[in-house]
């Protein structure tokens, strides 16, 4: 009789170990999936950066964006593209939770002290709004809202 009882506790112990191993595998798969997604996002950001840098350095390539950058003087177009690199970098950091709402607000508060930065956001904010709506990302919508709050604090509503 004792042998049967010991076998039951061994089966229970085996079941507990199997369940723990299964949970470990599930957690590992979730972590691996998250890492894969983050890696894909980083690759996309790196490609975007490369395209922007190419456009900053070559005015012939700028019209490829389909935007009115080609109509701007070279120096202004380059400044707008550079400003876009900065905001895109902040957006990426915000999306992966490397910056908080408060940090983003502080970054934009300083950013909008510059004339070029204000001009950039004045031209680009509608596109950022469209991007946020199209992507259905609450986090991107929040990022754009934070930028707009700081922009409105510096630029009168009529501008």
Candidates 71, 85, 89, 151; CA nearest to 119 is 151
Please state the rounded mean pLDDT for residues 24-49. 79
Please state the rounded mean pLDDT for residues 54-66. 83
CA 1 to chain centre: 64
Q: Which residue has the tokens 């909008």?
A: 112
pLDDT digits (tens, 9 = 90+) for 66-85: 777 778 898 999 999 999 99
CA 98 to chain centre: 10
Phi, psi of 47 (to 5 degrees): -65, -40
Is it the case that residue 154 has pLDDT exceeding 80? yes
Q: What is the pLDDT of residue 69?
A: 77
């Amino acid at each position: 009789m004792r042998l049967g009882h010991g076998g039951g506790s061994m089966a229970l112990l085996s079941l507990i170990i199997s369940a723990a191993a299964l949970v470990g595998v599930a957690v590992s798969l979730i972590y691996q999936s998250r890492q894969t997604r983050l890696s894909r996002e980083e690759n996309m950001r790196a490609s975007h950066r490369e395209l922007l840098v190419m456009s900053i350095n070559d005015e012939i390539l700028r019209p490829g964006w389909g935007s009115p950058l080609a109509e701007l003087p070279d120096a202004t177009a380059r400044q707008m593209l550079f400003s876009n690199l900065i905001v895109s970098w902040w957006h990426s950091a915000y999306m992966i939770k490397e910056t908080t709402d408060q940090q983003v607000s502080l970054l934009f508060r300083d950013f909008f002290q510059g004339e070029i930065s204000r001009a950039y956001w004045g031209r680009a904010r509608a596109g950022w709004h469209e991007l946020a709506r199209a992507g259905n990302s609450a986090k991107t919508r929040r990022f754009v809202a934070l930028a707009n709050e700081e922009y409105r604090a510096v630029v009168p509503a009529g501008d």
